[in-house]
């Protein structure tokens, strides 16, 4: 796992954890890395000092973080409706009160995610887990 300090185009700073640098690059390219404060997908890596990995404590912390992310993802999958490729459309309907409010998840292109963000539709990508890269 690698931790990046990230900033959006509105200068909000936050952390992101990724399996490796190419995982970050791929997710950023697809618009899946979003600012938790404003939803912007215009994200860049902030300058940061390298961390020292390999201690037992860091391994335990990484496992705890991964387990917590896995738990969040499982909760969403168990308690929300999978709307597949219709995510952007369904999210807009709920946002505009044209559909009953409910938890949903699915897929959206980076363009759809950017458009939702610009419209003020609140959404958050499901956490990416190490097994997603196998």
In percent, the amount of the chain with pLDDT more than 70 equals 91
Measure Cα distances from 86 to 51, 62, 133 in Å. Answer: 40, 33, 24
Q: Residue 97 falls within a domain, yes or no?
A: yes
Give me the number of domains the chain comprises. 2
Percentages (nearest 5) of helix, strand, coil residues in the chain:
40, 15, 40
pLDDT digits (tens, 9 = 90+) for 64-87: 988 998 999 999 999 999 999 999
In the predicted model, what is the mean pLDDT of residues 87-98? 96
Residue 43 lies in a domain: yes
- Does 112 reside within a domain? yes
Q: Is 133 a domain residue?
A: no
Residue 69 lies in a domain: no
- pLDDT tens digits for 30-70? 889 998 889 899 999 876 655 555 566 777 888 898 899 89
Residue range of the domain that includes 2 = 1-48
Are 101 and 47 a contacting pair, CB within 8 Å?
Answer: no
In a domain, 130, yes or no: no
């Amino acid at each position: 796992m690698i931790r990046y300090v990230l900033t959006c185009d509105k200068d909000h700073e936050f952390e992101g954890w990724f399996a490796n640098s190419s995982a970050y690059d791929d997710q950023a390219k697809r618009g899946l890395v979003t600012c938790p404060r404003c939803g912007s997908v215009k994200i860049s890596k902030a300058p940061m000092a390298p961390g020292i990995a390999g201690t037992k404590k860091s391994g335990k912390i990484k496992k705890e973080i991964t387990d917590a992310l896995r738990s969040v993802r499982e909760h969403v999958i168990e308690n929300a409706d999978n709307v597949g490729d219709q995510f952007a459309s369904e999210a807009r309907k709920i946002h505009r009160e044209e559909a009953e409010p409910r938890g949903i998840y699915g897929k959206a292109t980076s363009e759809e995610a950017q458009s939702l963000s610009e419209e003020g539709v609140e959404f958050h990508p499901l956490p990416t887990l190490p097994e997603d890269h196998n």
